[in-house]
Chain A
């Protein structure tokens, strides 16, 4: 029960790939190479992650450029699906079927049958921890159980490549941890190449260090996550500080070389500080507050979201 994962060359290669839906651009001149292992695709909602996956699966055809999965074009190439397992981010389970019936259907569609299929259903349901719920209708599953069953469906034919589209979406923290552990074990212990997407960077970071960042249909950065973190750290972060006596704090901050600018709010009870090195700022702030004897009631980041980071990375800020 292992994906072979031993093909030479990259798993996915795209060259100048573009896909648009009418006037809406899904992917725009998209270039990316995904190697064997676990690769995280990170981007805000609507950035083009699902479009990329649909192109990898041949569910939609490119308008321009080229995409290859294991060296083959996916559009019109149903045989390639023998090597790919797909767990979509949307509800796709037949709700009137039991988990066993669903896995049996998917297995049969992959030309499996008889004892081979029965054994495999047992194996994948054990792997995702769903054996106890095999005979229950999927319509009664919780969100986490549905995610697991979709992953089981993607694994049933033991594919080389697993594509998991936002597998953690809508799940509680405990289930998230279990799914993250499962994703890691699918590669480490079972040999599958995994491409997994999320709009939350730190979740992907817990699964892999190989990431590609997508924003507005373009691959804005790819490689080791530490390099991308360095890029992010160069981003002038905006921090809002509110409280009493913060004018003195502002003066103290402007003496620090990591402070780019300070802008007061209209009521002068708050200010927005732009900083270049977040770590230095957060480490030094307690001492500064103590030194000027001010009272800080709240502090938050204005751009603590991926959108701001992506806009910075593509040079819009």
Chain B
């Protein structure tokens, strides 16, 4: 009975938050980013390029490297904090649902919306480039591989930025620091230090799957098992930590 009550609550919150995120003005950012990526990749696709390696490098740099953490940050750091700040979280905080479970009802919608956003951006860039260079089976395979990578990335980055949104009063500053400085800079440094970024493990996975471009011949990558283990553990630990903090958060 308690499990049913909990599941009913989580499902209701998931549906409500998903709809709210999908209808929010933040989705306009997704459209703008998709247009930007499509413009850049469309221009590149109109030039004399080697389609598969150059297309792969563009998708790696623009989508996986840069916009993946940025989009997760945009949606993730505001989701719970905005509701706490504008007090619309009251009906959740006064429901007979343990807040640790309510947290799941925020995490799932965030993952869904980040995946939707990244797939839109991924697809826009891919079509803008490869529609000109040829939609070969290799190109479609490349598209699916990057779609898989951003889907995995959505689970990890969502857990990270949702926890940030509960832990800090001004999570967007921490989010900006992490997305641009930590992932963008630390994740690009040579040597073991880059293993302190999510991007390293996503690109390590990508290096096993993708056969073209720089990502296929990265040096110092982690093994497939290590990458999966680190990304999974990181997601679970951040999720548990975030749920614990949300449970202890005072809603004043």
Q: Across the two chains, which residue of chain A brings its CB closest to B99?
A: A78
Q: Assess whether B90 is in contact with A94, with CB atoms less than 8 Å apart.
A: no
Any A CB within 8 A of the CB of B191? no
Interchain pairs with CB closer than 8 A, number = 78
Q: Across the two chains, which residue of chain A brings its CB closest to B252?
A: A60
Any B CB within 8 A of the CB of A304? no
Q: Which of B12, B86, B91, B247 contacts A153 (CB 8 A)?
A: B91
Q: Assess whether B91 is in contact with A60, with CB atoms less than 8 Å apart.
A: no
Q: Assess whether A60 is in contact with B250, with CB atoms less than 8 Å apart.
A: yes
A78 and B97 in contact, given A88-B90, A94-B16, A106-B91 (Cβ under 8 angstroms)? yes
- Residues on B with beta carbons closer than 8 Å to the beta carbon of A97: 16
Q: Assess whether B251 is in contact with A81, with CB atoms less than 8 Å apart.
A: no
Any A CB within 8 A of the CB of B88? yes
A110 and B96 in contact, given A92-B91, A94-B16 (Cβ under 8 angstroms)? yes
Proximity string of chain B (92-117) to chain A, C-beta cutoff 8 Å, 1 when within and 0 when not: 11111111000000000000000000
Any B CB within 8 A of the CB of A86? yes
Any A CB within 8 A of the CB of B13? yes
Q: Which of B4, B9, B88, B96 contacts A94 (CB 8 A)?
A: B88
Question: Size band of the A side of the interface?
Answer: 20 to 34
- Residues on B with beta carbons closer than 8 Å to the beta carbon of A57: 93-94
Q: Assess whether B20 is in contact with A110, with CB atoms less than 8 Å apart.
A: no
The 4 residue pairs across chains A and B that have the minimum distance between CB atoms:
A108-B12, A109-B95, A111-B5, A81-B96
Q: Assess whether B8 is in contact with A113, with CB atoms less than 8 Å apart.
A: yes
Q: Which of B8, B23, B251 contacts A59 (CB 8 A)?
A: B251
- Residues on B with beta carbons closer than 8 Å to the beta carbon of A80: 96
A164 CB, nearest partner CB in chain B, Å: 13
Any B CB within 8 A of the CB of A134? no
- Near B by CB (< 8 A), chain A positions 9-61 give 21, 54, 57, 59-61
Proximity string of chain A (148-177) to chain B, C-beta cutoff 8 Å, 1 when within and 0 when not: 000001000000000000000000000000
Given contacts A94-B16, A106-B95, 16 further A-B contacts (CB under 8 A): A57-B93, A59-B251, A76-B247, A78-B95, A81-B95, A81-B96, A82-B96, A86-B90, A86-B94, A92-B90, A93-B88, A94-B20, A102-B91, A108-B9, A108-B11, A112-B8
A92 and B251 in contact, given A78-B99, A108-B11, A109-B9 (Cβ under 8 angstroms)? no
- Near A by CB (< 8 A), chain B positions 223-252 give 247, 250-252
A59 and B16 in contact, given A78-B99, A108-B9 (Cβ under 8 angstroms)? no
- Residues on A with beta carbons closer than 8 Å to the beta carbon of B208: none
Any A CB within 8 A of the CB of B26? no
Interface size on B, residues (CB 8 A): 27
A66 CB, nearest partner CB in chain B, Å: 17
- Residues on B with beta carbons closer than 8 Å to the beta carbon of A104: 12
Any A CB within 8 A of the CB of B170? no
Give A105 to B95 CA distance when docked, in angstroms: 10
Any A CB within 8 A of the CB of B169? no
Any B CB within 8 A of the CB of A84? yes
Q: Which of A61, A76, A92, A113 contacts B88 (CB 8 A)?
A: A92
Q: Across the two chains, which residue of chain B brings its CB closest to A80?
A: B96
Any B CB within 8 A of the CB of A96? yes
Q: Assess whether B251 is in contact with A60, with CB atoms less than 8 Å apart.
A: yes
A146 CB, nearest partner CB in chain B, Å: 13
- Residues on A with beta carbons closer than 8 Å to the beta carbon of B91: 92, 102, 105-106, 109, 153
Q: Across the two chains, which residue of chain A brings its CB closest to B101?
A: A78
Give A91 to B87 CA distance when docked, in angstroms: 7
Give A93 to B252 CA distance when docked, in angstroms: 17
Give A86 to B4 CA distance when docked, in angstroms: 24
- Near A by CB (< 8 A), chain B positions 1-25 give 4-5, 8-9, 11-13, 16, 20, 23
